[in-house]
Structure 1
Amino acid sequence: MGTGLMLAFPAVLNPDITSTNGTGIHATADQASWLASSNGFSGIVGFFLLPNIMQVFGRKVVFMGINFLSALGFLIFAVADNVLCLFVARIVQGVPMCGVYVTTMLVGEYTDPKRRGYFTTVKKSCGAIGSLISHSLALRFTWKQVAAFSLIPNTISLILTFLWPESPSYLALTGKYDECEKSHSWLFGDTLRNKKDLEQLVATQMERKRLAVTKNNLKTVIRNLLKQDFIKPFCMIHLGNCILSVGTGLMLALPTVLHRDITSTNGTGIHATSDQVSWLASSNGFSGVVGFFLLPNIMQMFGRKFVFMGINFLAALGFLIFAIADNVPCLFVARIVQGVPMCGVFITTMLVGEYTDPKRRGYFTSAKKSCSAIGSLISHSLALRFTWKQVAAFSVIPNTVSLILTFLWPESPSYLALIGKYDECEKSHSWLFGNSLKSKSDLEQLVATQMERKRLAVTKNNFKTVIRKLLKKDFFKPFVIVSILTMLVDAVGRYYTFAYVVQILIEVTNDKYIAAYCAIGSDMLTFVALLMSSFVIRCVKRRTLLFVAGAICASLMLLTSLITFVKSHYDIGGSIHWWLTPSIILLNIFIANVGVIPASFAIMCEIFPLEHKGTGVCASGIVFTVLYTLVMKCTPLMMEKTGVEGTFGIYALIVTVGLVILYFILNETKDKTLVDIEKEIKGVKQPNCDIYLNDKPLIGS
């Protein structure tokens, strides 16, 4: 929470010190920007010092130091009387910036593995609470008073730390095994499982000490960091995918930044009519059809890596054209170029299915969607300070980074099995999932399924055969499910809220400033919701999550429609309408991003059989681009013709119809392998699957 207060503090401080205020301190805009970023420089010092102190003196000492320095920084802010003091305070608070990582690692050491993800998510959510408190206090108090209040969380945390035991992992690392046993027992209890974990921890550290090489030079450190068990699952695969999603969020939110400027006087010299603006927002849907025809087939011929690189390249190219555009046709070219890789919405989601363990598939899909919310939040935040051209130039970065990371990936084991490269498939599968008995069993099942498919394949592939293939149950049923899920995602506001949330809220509140801040709140809610969904989707079945969240969303949209209709036609509830309706809209966005959107994308990445994946992505993508284009084009028109009440009423009806159809045709996919889901779609009865405990089968088939 203290970290959230620290991160949000420049938003409270800078507006006051750059204008007349009661503190007697005045700074230029340039000084204010350096003040906001100055803690990054001292943060480098902290990243060098504190991790080493943590290894020498323990976790508690470092955690106390982080709290002390953060509180000291706020104290200096509270008593500051010149700009220099402000810089000192910000630099002091920069040193413990490594706490972002250190405290997250502490969660890993002090928490049971089953609850580790939950506590990490809660911890991150508290950062958002701190930011919310800071912004809320700023509405009533001066920045000095906010700084004084901000002392409290770090002070309380510092006091609580004195009551902690030292980390068992650190005590085992330093050879204090008796103290390690006491600390481990205090934290985790004395169950048989916990005693076994303790024995394993101590044994591992004893073995490490026995084999330790005393030489610990830079070359050794780098070699440790480059070990596959550290970099391969995160840095190479999911980090690249998540960074692409940040770029996707920037792309989806750019119309909000762009349209405001080009429909009014601005410094770029480009002006567009409202009709051109609506076509500009939806134009990438048309080129998206081309992308959905081309890229899935390229994916089936040349592999997943190649297509992922192409998606990143085209998205970055589109932002670059935006940054140098000097007329309306250039804006259309940029938007159309970015439309071609729109199929990445499905392709990257399916890549999560192929590159991820079934038990973590929903988690990584939700994390990926969280990153698109981060991209949208960055875009809207940058728009408060920079021009749309500068925002577009910045937006080139995520896709470029993701493109570079993709070169380090292995090819997908599913694709290698599909084209008959079984030796390479085995290497890739082992690289991704390890060599456990369960992983080997999954690999054998994957290869056997593709060998059987090839054996039964008919070589003749004329038009009649293709049509017959498209009408087979194992293609048609997933296609219908994905199409309806796409319709649901569009209707609950996955895309139109990114582009038109400000316009919708202006219609509701009649105040552009309230609408602008609500848009920032919408992005924050979306991010928090998607973080929560990482936990929810791991615990709740896909069908349950989809139908419960979908029903709530439909109800909230109907309620929005009803309240707005009553206000506009009968002028009832005028005194509460300005805050009640935006609150319901924001709640709907939150529920949609906790349930409907992550559940839909998780199912989309799992549902198509491997042999139909390319064709399925192509066909579903055409549906997606048509629906996306209709939503982006028709939402402002519906707002104009039917108002907010009509728009939300129509979307609520669409959600309701979609949920009713899915109730009868959607299979449960949670924690099932892609092969199991494929067999279920085909109607093949499953034998009793092997059940594993600690990598050993308990029940045979």
Structure 2
Amino acid sequence: MAKDDYENAYPEYEESIESPVNISWTPFLRQLFVVGGVWTIYFVLGLCYGAPNVFIPQIRREANSTEAVSEDMASWLTSIHGYAALLWILILPILTRKFGRKVPFLILCITTMLGYIVFYLSSSNIILLISEIMQGPLVASNMTVLILIVTEYSSPRYRGVFMTVKSTIFFCGVWVANATGTFSHWKHIAFFAFVCSSCSLTAFLWPESPSWLAMNGRFEDCAKSHHWLKGYDKESENELESLINAQKEYLRARSKRKEASCCRLRIIMETLSTKAFHKPLLLSMTVMLLYNFSGKFVCSMYSVELIKRITNSEPTAYMGMLILEAVTICSMLIGCVLSKYLKRRTLLLTSSSIGIGFLFVISLYLYLIKLAVITENKVVSLLLLTLFSMTFSCGPMILACSVYGELTPIRYRSSSLPILAIFSEILMASVLKVSPYIFKIFGLHGAFLFYGVSASVFAFLLYKYLPESKDKTLQEIENYFKVAPADEIVSQELLEDKDLHKPR
């Protein structure tokens, strides 16, 4: 939309629009200011997942007894925040729809700070468990509030970089939590979490999301917020014009239409049966199943205990953990570079296949050690774990969100996002909960064999059904899933309602 159009449409902001800024670094720095607040929360989320890996061994060592934290309690301390997130996955989208993006984010920051105060003051396993439950909003925000902020506050030219960096920052948080617990008392993790959560309170200075303002008919505020974030260049003006026109059309259509409850139910059922809805959703779930049942995330969360069992050395276990997580972060950065040159499908399946190969090799290696056919070599053990970690870090760990973001049609994103978020949290928490029992029942060699077989099944499904999405428009990807016109018989009101939540 041209400058003169805004002067006529929004005279209230005429003064601010009359002096448009030239294309500069200002929009990028302002978007970085907003997204930086989100990154610090991703860092805290990494601290949340990494903390049990060090405070459980420390508590046992201080008490000189493994019964200080029983295996059952240890599994709950590692996984409870995932289950605690389930209710918040339903609450946070309601808050973002009603109050915008800033209010839920500030609530998230405050609850996180309170949770880590309880974490620091905890004196028993039960209080620690309570502090983990208080991190439910933090864990739930991963695929709800935080995704919305990154996509709606950033320009298309920066959005990919911002999304890629967030995954790496999460594992930086895991690494810092592990390093803190290795070289000092585990309660010091709360200091980093509290400071980062406090820094994220810069959200008080953010404008409200332009998309949310437009959804609610506040077009003048939308234009002002959009210009503050993204400037006045042609690309920004076209994006704003498209946003305002789409929401005006929706509001006009909505004011003329009222649907009966029974009709809405029919529409929902038709949507669920639409292949353009459920096929991308199932493929996204399969990528998450591959990631969780590859054992990579489990190895990160239980790395101290696993390496200690393999090497029979606690100092080696702690150093191995830090090296393993450092390699993970570096490998994710390498994967981000490779994703610029390789196709999504190629990178995902190739890295997964090599990683699965290492799972089988590790399983065989540990089994031969158990049979006393070969003697254990600590260097070889850590090398195999490192190579396994590198391969999965280059693929599934960085591509899971990309696959979901590219495959899911924008019109269905508001419906599939809560479903995928609930599935992801239940899956991740359950895998973390049962993994200690898998290691106990099957042994280390059996556990790695289990993860290798499971990952092979999901990798085969992706090989058979996953389409290539790199360098394709969202419309081209959406057309791939349209098998028959009947699949697209969905009410226009429902489609428009989905567009309310689509990232801009």
The answer to whether TM tops 0.5 is: yes
Cα contact 1:358–1:673 (8 A) shared by 2: no
Instruction: Measure, in 1, the Cα distance between the counterparts of 2:359 and 2:164.
Output: 23
Instruction: Measure, in 2, the Cα distance between the counterparts of 1:661 and 1:458.
Output: 42
Q: CA deviation at 1:524?
A: 1.1
Matches within 5 A, 1:30-429: 228-229=26-27, 231-234=29-32, 236-266=33-63, 271-347=68-144, 348-402=146-200, 404-429=201-226
Q: CA deviation at 1:476?
A: 1.9
Instruction: Measure, in 1, the Cα distance between the counterparts of 2:131 and 2:85.
Output: 13
Q: Does the C-alpha gap of structure 1 residues 272 and 406 become closer, same or farther in structure 2, counting only changes over 3 Å?
A: same
1:479 aligns with 2:277: no
Q: CA deviation at 1:335?
A: 0.8
Q: Does the C-alpha gap of structure 1 residues 257 and 407 become closer, same or farther in structure 2, counting only changes over 3 Å?
A: same
Cross-structure match for 1:604: 404
Q: Does the C-alpha gap of structure 1 residues 599 and 459 become closer, same or farther in structure 2, counting only changes over 3 Å?
A: same
Instruction: Measure, in 2, the Cα distance between the counterparts of 1:341 and 1:676.
Output: 35
Q: Which amino acid aligns with 1:479?
A: L
Task: Give the aligned length.
Answer: 454
Q: Does the C-alpha gap of structure 1 residues 559 and 358 become closer, same or farther in structure 2, counting only changes over 3 Å?
A: farther
Cross-structure match for 2:375: 574
Correspondent of 1:620 among 420, 442, 452: 420
Cross-structure match for 2:438: 638
1:662 aligns with 2:462: yes
Cα contact 1:353–1:606 (8 A) shared by 2: no
Instruction: Measure, in 1, the Cα distance between the counterparts of 2:321 and 2:28.
Output: 38
Deviations 1:317-343 (A, max 9, x none): 221111011222211111111123312
Q: Does the C-alpha gap of structure 1 residues 361 and 394 become closer, same or farther in structure 2, counting only changes over 3 Å?
A: closer
**What is the aligned-residue RMSD (CA, Å)?**
3.1
Q: CA deviation at 1:355?
A: 3.4
Instruction: Measure, in 1, the Cα distance between the counterparts of 2:258 and 2:303.
Output: 51
Cross-structure match for 1:532: 334
Q: Does the C-alpha gap of structure 1 residues 292 and 280 become closer, same or farther in structure 2, counting only changes over 3 Å?
A: same
Q: Which amino acid aligns with 1:628?
A: M
Q: Secondary structure at the match of 2:373?
A: coil
Q: Secondary structure at the match of 2:436?
A: helix
Instruction: Measure, in 2, the Cα distance between the counterparts of 1:575 and 1:651.
Output: 22
Instruction: Measure, in 2, the Cα distance between the counterparts of 1:322 and 1:580.
Output: 37
Q: CA deviation at 1:470?
A: 3.3
Q: CA deviation at 1:598?
A: 1.0
Q: CA deviation at 1:682?
A: 5.8
Instruction: Measure, in 2, the Cα distance between the counterparts of 1:466 and 1:654.
Output: 33
Instruction: Measure, in 2, the Cα distance between the counterparts of 1:482 and 1:311.
Output: 26
Instruction: Measure, in 2, the Cα distance between the counterparts of 1:676 and 1:353.
Output: 20
Q: CA deviation at 1:580?
A: 1.7
What TM-score results when the alignment is normalised by the length of structure 1? 0.59
Instruction: Measure, in 2, the Cα distance between the counterparts of 1:684 and 1:427.
Output: 42
Instruction: Measure, in 2, the Cα distance between the counterparts of 1:387 and 1:398.
Output: 19
Q: Secondary structure at the match of 1:384?
A: helix
Higher relative contact order (CA 8 A, sep 6+): 2
Cross-structure match for 2:270: 468
Correspondent of 2:452 among 652, 655, 660: 652
Q: Percent identity at matched positions?
A: 25
Q: CA deviation at 1:548?
A: 1.6
Instruction: Measure, in 2, the Cα distance between the counterparts of 1:425 and 1:611.
Output: 21
Q: Secondary structure at the match of 1:517?
A: helix
Q: Which amino acid aligns with 2:95?
A: I
In our comparison, the structure showing a higher alpha carbon Rg is 1
Q: Does the C-alpha gap of structure 1 residues 451 and 476 become closer, same or farther in structure 2, counting only changes over 3 Å?
A: farther
1:495 aligns with 2:293: no
Deviations 1:390-416 (A, max 9, x none): 2223322112212x1322333334444
- Structure 2: tracts of 5 or more residues without a match: 1-23, 486-504
Instruction: Measure, in 2, the Cα distance between the counterparts of 1:682 and 1:427.
Output: 38
Cα contact 1:363–1:535 (8 A) shared by 2: no
Q: Secondary structure at the match of 1:497?
A: helix
Cα contact 2:344–2:469 (8 A) shared by 1: yes
Q: Which amino acid aligns with 1:593?
A: S
Deviation larger for 353-362 or 534-543: 353-362
Q: Does the C-alpha gap of structure 1 residues 453 and 482 become closer, same or farther in structure 2, counting only changes over 3 Å?
A: farther
Q: CA deviation at 1:418?
A: 4.2
Cross-structure match for 1:505: 307
Cα contact 2:291–2:396 (8 A) shared by 1: yes
Instruction: Measure, in 1, the Cα distance between the counterparts of 2:474 and 2:112.
Output: 29
1:523 aligns with 2:325: yes
